[in-house]
Amino acid sequence: MKINIKIILVFLCFAACKQVQNLSDKFTKPSGKQVIESTFKDNDTLSKKFEDVYEQAKNNNLELVLPSVIYTKSDSLDFSILSYKIFLEKGERLKIETNIDSDSLQFASDIYSVLNDTLVSKNSIVSNEASLNHLNFEVFKTGYYKIVMFSEFTKKVDFNISVYTEPVFLFPVAGKGNKDIQSYWGAVRSGGKRKHEGIDIFAKRGTPVIASVDGFVATAKNSGLGGKQIWLKSGLFGKTLYYAHLDSITTSAGAYVKLGDTLGFVGNTGNAKGASPHLHFGIYNSSGAINPLAFVKKSYLPNSIEEKVFKNGITKLTKNELRIGSGVAYKKIETFTENTPITILGKIDNWFHIKYADNIEGFMHESLVAENI
Ligand SMILES: [Zn+2]
């Protein structure tokens, strides 16, 4: 295997510089939460109230399925804080975005790690930078997380928050998508003697196979089960991406490729001979093959429409059910009687995220709620 020393130096420098940058960011750039907290730091009563509301929201049991758009509003010193448990997979990047910039309204988002329904640490694992009203988080471990979101409390502004994921890598076959993946990780192979250590993406012979990441080609050869194959390394200490059964290869070992570059074309070489042309795609880290699906599976964001929510609501029916998520399949928390005054914190699809009596939170369908004027 031929490795270009210049490429190694570039990668080393890049990795080192990036780490120093990340470290210095930690010390110099305040988070959205820090900036908002600083606005009432001299007022002990408000600071204490904020801390209490934040802790209570952080430990609620509400759930959110991604992608979601939350319509909400900031209001004077009402300390409305949104917090939800979400499920994330290694290979995904979580994105939290608002439709408003930090000069108009400071927004804060914090992410906590959850294990067995309990927060792993009292400190967040990542928070948005104050000057940016959005947050990107590359998931390092599959599991549950808790997101906590709020905006500065002294302005009256309607805004929305999009919470969604995207794959860390680009889909490896040009013009193809999730429905073209027809064999998954763990499927039985060789009559049960081994398991499928990747995914198969079906496409017409000759469809371009593309670089899912910037990196260098460690190996490009024709041999064994994989046939015409490429091993693409994402940085010196990164993962290795495996492309197999190609009809032909248009790159060579040692080449540095950029995201989206064509590496070759879909075929059925190696042990795929006789089968329909497809790309076998795998990802390897230092301990071996890992499930590549979440790294490339395309995700979608629902269209956000302009919607305003009112602040004060009242229940309409004789029985008004409160649930832990925005759907009838979610567990019921309790049932409110008619004319119960509630506070609206936000809206997701047709469901209000409501709060009652300072300590009960949940989702209630919009048909059960009227504005309380
Ligand atoms: Zn395969």
Residue-by-residue DSSP string for 96-121: EEESS-TTT--EEEEEEEEETTEES-
pLDDT per residue as tens digits for the range 4-45: 555 555 555 555 555 555 555 556 789 999 999 999 999 999
Q: If you measure from the C-alpha of residue 1 to the centroid of ligand 1, how many angstroms do you get, rounded to a whole number?
A: 24
Q: If you measure from the C-alpha of residue 258 to the centroid of ligand 1, how many angstroms do you get, rounded to a whole number?
A: 24
pLDDT band for position 278 (50/70/90)?
very high
Q: Which amino acid, residue 150?
A: F
Q: Picking from 161-165, 306-310, 359-363, which range would have the lowest pLDDT averaged per residue?
A: 306-310
Q: What gap in Å lies between CA 323 and CA 334, rounded to an integer?
A: 7
Q: What is the mean pLDDT of the chain?
A: 91
* Lookup: tokens for 259: 């995201």
Q: If you measure from the C-alpha of residue 271 to the centroid of ligand 1, how many angstroms do you get, rounded to a whole number?
A: 10
State the pTM of this model: 0.88
Q: How far is CA 190 from CA 187, 194, 225, 271, in A?
A: 10, 6, 12, 11
- pLDDT at residue 51, as a whole number: 94
pLDDT exceeds cutoff 80 at 132:
yes
Q: If you measure from the C-alpha of residue 226 to the centroid of ligand 1, how many angstroms do you get, rounded to a whole number?
A: 9
- The radius of gyration of the chain from alpha carbons, rounded to an integer in Å, stands at 25
**To which H or E segment does residue 366 belong?**
none
**To which H or E segment does residue 295 belong?**
helix 293-296
Query: By the 8 A CB rule, do 141 and 103 touch?
Result: no
Q: If you measure from the C-alpha of residue 90 to the centroid of ligand 1, how many angstroms do you get, rounded to a whole number?
A: 21
Q: What gap in Å lies between CA 62 and CA 149, rounded to an integer?
A: 13
Q: If you measure from the C-alpha of residue 268 to the centroid of ligand 1, how many angstroms do you get, rounded to a whole number?
A: 11
Read off the pLDDT of each residue in 344-371 and give the average, rounded to a whole number: 95
- pLDDT at residue 7, as a whole number: 52
For residue 311, give every residue at least 6 positions away whose Cβ sits within 8 Å of its Cβ, in sequence order, or none.
73, 75, 78, 343, 344
Q: What gap in Å lies between CA 361 and CA 351, rounded to an integer?
A: 13
Q: If you measure from the C-alpha of residue 193 to the centroid of ligand 1, how many angstroms do you get, rounded to a whole number?
A: 15
- pLDDT at residue 337, as a whole number: 97
Q: What gap in Å lies between CA 137 and CA 149, rounded to an integer?
A: 14
pLDDT exceeds cutoff 90 at 295:
yes
Q: If you measure from the C-alpha of residue 291 to the centroid of ligand 1, how many angstroms do you get, rounded to a whole number?
A: 12
Alpha helices in 29-172 (DSSP H): 32-38, 44-58
Read off the pLDDT of each residue in 304-316 and give the average, rounded to a whole number: 89
Q: Picking from 124-133, 234-243, 307-316, which range would have the lowest pLDDT averaged per residue?
A: 234-243
Q: If you measure from the C-alpha of residue 234 to the centroid of ligand 1, how many angstroms do you get, rounded to a whole number?
A: 21
pLDDT band for position 188 (50/70/90)?
confident
pLDDT exceeds cutoff 60 at 227:
yes
- pLDDT at residue 1, as a whole number: 44
Q: What gap in Å lies between CA 191 and CA 199, rounded to an integer?
A: 18
Q: If you measure from the C-alpha of residue 281 to the centroid of ligand 1, how many angstroms do you get, rounded to a whole number?
A: 7
Read off the pLDDT of each residue in 81-98 and give the average, rounded to a whole number: 96
Q: If you measure from the C-alpha of residue 87 to the centroid of ligand 1, how many angstroms do you get, rounded to a whole number?
A: 27
Read off the pLDDT of each residue in 347-373 and give the average, rounded to a whole number: 95
Burial pattern 285-316, b for ≥16 Cβ within 10 A else e, equals: eeeebbbbbbbbbeeebeeeeeeebeeebbbe
Q: If you measure from the C-alpha of residue 75 to the centroid of ligand 1, how many angstroms do you get, rounded to a whole number?
A: 54
Q: If you measure from the C-alpha of residue 5 to the centroid of ligand 1, how many angstroms do you get, rounded to a whole number?
A: 33
- pLDDT at residue 306, as a whole number: 78
**To which H or E segment does residue 28 belong?**
helix 5-28
Q: If you measure from the C-alpha of residue 133 to the centroid of ligand 1, how many angstroms do you get, rounded to a whole number?
A: 41
The number of C-alpha atoms within 13 Å of 323 and in the hemisphere containing its C-beta is 17
Q: If you measure from the C-alpha of residue 189 to the centroid of ligand 1, how many angstroms do you get, rounded to a whole number?
A: 9
Q: What gap in Å lies between CA 260 and CA 238, rounded to an integer?
A: 18
Q: If you measure from the C-alpha of residue 256 to the centroid of ligand 1, how many angstroms do you get, rounded to a whole number?
A: 25
Q: If you measure from the C-alpha of residue 152 to the centroid of ligand 1, how many angstroms do you get, rounded to a whole number?
A: 50
Query: By the 8 A CB rule, do 136 and 22 touch?
Result: no
- pLDDT at residue 300, as a whole number: 83
Q: If you measure from the C-alpha of residue 231 to the centroid of ligand 1, how many angstroms do you get, rounded to a whole number?
A: 15
Domains of the chain (ranges, CATH numbers): 31-168+299-307 (2.60.120.380), 178-296 (2.70.70.10), 309-373 (2.30.30.40)
Q: If you measure from the C-alpha of residue 195 to the centroid of ligand 1, how many angstroms do you get, rounded to a whole number?
A: 10
The candidate with the shortest Cα–Cα distance to 225, out of 253, 171, 189, 186, is 189
Q: If you measure from the C-alpha of residue 143 to the centroid of ligand 1, how many angstroms do you get, rounded to a whole number?
A: 26
Q: If you measure from the C-alpha of residue 299 to the centroid of ligand 1, how many angstroms do you get, rounded to a whole number?
A: 22
Q: If you measure from the C-alpha of residue 183 to the centroid of ligand 1, how many angstroms do you get, rounded to a whole number?
A: 7
